[in-house]
Structure 1
């Protein structure tokens, strides 16, 4: 995935890369080290608070992603986002809903299919039911497969040099 992100970063210089996660802010230093050591392009982290709220014991990660996507669309209305996620938890549903609500703000949705072990660690797989949002929707088991599909869509050039 790091190679894919690097190719996207070089193919679209100046385009923001934002890492949206249900992870809590207390993991930000570890996550930042992981991204740097694995050569992911720099970008801000949109993480969630950890702990109870006034009505829940734990934060709602899906709601955090939903609210963050809506905020990005509002604060950056001229950007067409490439939403990259995986089939664990709720990315497919959330990205599909966002694309349906903001079709002019989404260039494409790319979903990495988790391995069986990754799906266990993620708490399972999503239903796979994406909202028909009239935007390109691709999936693959890894960054190389997503790279190929993004080339087919013209988002990446097939000549990385």
Structure 2
């Protein structure tokens, strides 16, 4: 049998509520990609992400903040728990250690002997001095995906790796500027929300690291091949639920939203704005649509957001969004040359 693996997903929360989630599988450990991996290596790694052997009904012991919490995996191997850390976080700290252990489980013989199955991870709590939070889509907002084309999405997912996938030009520098804020000693938390499956989590972690995109929780969803998951409605409901969760555990923060016009980000963000008009500073929508009818629909949603006194902008590129953010006082204007240079380098 293959070894047990605890796949942890970066947790997040506040001094009174932290959300922790992950998955328990039996598989060989996934390795980071090589820069010049072959077609077959990429395909093999990608297929391996989806051919999983889930471990259900296993107790996971979670150690964080000097406390112990427990939860149990479901039939797909996922665990999910919200805990009250009951702490007063250090002023200058945003990331905190967390340890996951499978209770009563030892690795099978041949895998470094009989030992506990342990995984060390991290969780993020926004510091009290954060000015705002950032919630960003991933597909066709950060990562070039072609999400409006199924075949393009499949080709990029299965035949490319974290080194060969492309970011949208200038994204890394812009997101670093947002995280730093107008005063570059600050830390504004960045959250990434997507309807892509959790199976792609390790690829996204590697991609963000390689591209220099700020570290933050990445919220994906269970791979459930069903009409609900594949429908626009399933995509919409998942992302709205995740954004609500982020906002619920950060009641002190306002948010900047970033997405694209290709799928439903404008509709999703319009819903969030209507629910919480006083907590959304601005929404930036990258224009990736080639259809006039889609631009017309997005424009209508922009007008709806304006009735709540929240600007939603349809922007052609990262630099346009960054210039507007600088004018609003969200980022340091001195970061604009770096963002322009980053966009040019990415394009080249």
Under a length normalisation based on structure 1, what TM-score does the superposition of the two structures give?
0.84
Deviations 1:102-121 (A, max 9, x none): 012211111111165xx9xx
Is the Cα contact below 8 Å between 1:78 and 1:105 reproduced in 2? Answer: no
| Structure 1 position 154 matched with structure 2 position 329 | yes
Match of 1:65 in 2: 239
User: Which structure has more RCO (C-alpha within 8 Å, separation ≥ 6)?
Assistant: 1
- CA-CA distance at 1:139 after TM superposition: 2.7
Question: 1:39: Cα distance to partner?
Answer: 0.6
What's the offset of the Cα at 1:26? 0.3
Greater alpha carbon shift after TM alignment, 125-134 vs 135-144: 125-134
Offset, 1:19: 0.4
5+ residue gaps, structure 1: 120-124
Local SS of the residue matching 2:190: coil
Structure 2 counterpart of 1:90, from 264, 282, 285: 264
Aligned-residue offset at 1:66? 0.8
Larger relative helix fraction: 1
How many correspondences in the alignment? 154
Shift of 1:57: 6.0
Partner of 1:109 in structure 2? 283
Q: Helix, strand or coil: the match of 2:334?
A: coil
Residue of structure 1 equivalent to 2:98: none
The answer for unaligned runs of 5 or more in structure 2 is: 1-170, 339-348
Task: Give the deviation of 1:134 after TM superposition.
Answer: 1.8
TM-score scaled by length of structure 2: 0.41
Deviation at 1:4, TM superposition (A): 0.6
The RMSD of aligned alpha carbons is 2.4
- Greater fraction strand: 2
- Report runs of 4+ in structure 1 exceeding 2 Å deviation: 55-59
How far off its partner does 1:67 sit? 0.8
Larger radius of gyration: 2
Deviation at 1:159, TM superposition (A): 1.9
